[in-house]
Amino acid sequence: MKNIYKILIAFIGVLAVSCNADAVDNRPIVDAVSTPEITAPATGIEFILDADDASKEAAKFTWSKAAYSAPVVVSYKLLIDKKGGDFAKAITLETTSNITEVSVLVKDLNQAAIDLGGPLEVASLFDVKVASSVSGGVPQISKTLITISVTPYRGKVAYNFQDWYLVGDATVSGWDNNKGNQILFRSGKSANEYTFTGFFKAGAFKAINTLGSWAPMYGGSDGTLAYRGKDSDPDPASFAIPTDGYYTFTMDVQKLTYKLTAYDASAAKTYSTVGIIGDSTPKGWDNSTPMLKSAFNGHIWSLGITSLKDGGLKFRAENNWDVSWGGSTPFSGGGSGDNIPVAASKYVIYFNDLDGSYLMIPNQG
């Protein structure tokens, strides 16, 4: 009786395999028939882009339908590459499904031109094609292309904040007001609050607003800030550091108050590398872009003029995810694991690994 069951099970298995094979054999095979070709705009069109029009339509691109040997849902990608490129590293401007037109925004065309190496505020030539596919397979790409001229703008990000720098023999720059002065980190919650936790030498310091200038300036004594608005105003008292060590300095420019307290850094970990990472950064989420460690203060990091895209970023140590820092506010903040929101521009970036404070100044040269 057991042998009968075994034979029956084997027969059912063979029948199932046979049916599956028949089903595969009977499936329709989709073949590519004709490629999609751009019908508008015409080749040779010029785009002189303007930051004030960033969210407006730059142009509507249309193309003919890609033909396949069976009725299928066709996915399209509008691709752009530098003039003469092979489209192996082309940028996708837009994607559609069964739709043969897209509106490309000024900001997206601008960013694509920059990412492909187009110099800012200078006309460069780019080639545009359309690619099609079916469920990720059976790819086709335009046999012809159009060439367009794009003049990308230098992105200007709204940045209505004041920045303040330390100067004095207690700081990294000494009394030179334009020599790599340490910047104060601005609160992400209040634009009037500034702080710096780090190493000071025994001596004194003040806060200046503009590198190379002695006014505007803040000094003070007994917890009260004193403001110097122009060079002819009285010189305020300096903040005093009694002995070498780590301190936290905070000031509120609205309340005109400050605090200077000792900081215990004995348990603080030191890192060999800290970098930025995220879809807004040059290396995306794959690798960190390294920052420069201060020789004066081993917990302070900076990054010179760096192009960032729309997106987000975090700071992380040792090029791995064991230790990382984020924030929820653009330009400045800290203290959370969120991705820091970034608008496309060129930035100078500062970071403090003692408290996770960051400051990102946009619109750099």
With a pLDDT cut of 90, the percent of the chain lying above it is 83
Residue given tokens 């803040």 in the structure block: 218
User: What is the mean pLDDT of the segment spanning 128-147?
Assistant: 95
Q: In which band, very low, low, confident or very high, does the pLDDT at 4 lie, cut at 50, 70 and 90? A: very low
Q: What integer best gives the mean pLDDT of the chain? A: 92
Alpha-carbon Rg of the chain, whole angstroms?
Answer: 30
The predicted structure's pLDDT at residue 28: 56
Question: Rounded CA gap, 283 and 108, in Å?
Answer: 19
User: What is the mean pLDDT of the segment spanning 313-338?
Assistant: 96
Tens-place pLDDT, residues 24-56:
444 458 899 999 999 999 999 999 999 889 889
**Cα-Cα-Cα-Cα dihedral of 203, 204, 209, 212, to 10°?**
-60
pTM > 0.75: yes or no: no
- pLDDT beyond 50 at 298: yes
Tokens of 223: 């917890």
**Helix (H), strand (E) at residue 17:** helix 2-26
The predicted structure's pLDDT at residue 161: 97
User: What is the mean pLDDT of the segment spanning 3-23?
Assistant: 43
- pLDDT beyond 60 at 2: no
The predicted structure's pLDDT at residue 77: 97
The predicted structure's pLDDT at residue 155: 66
User: What is the mean pLDDT of the segment spanning 183-212?
Assistant: 98
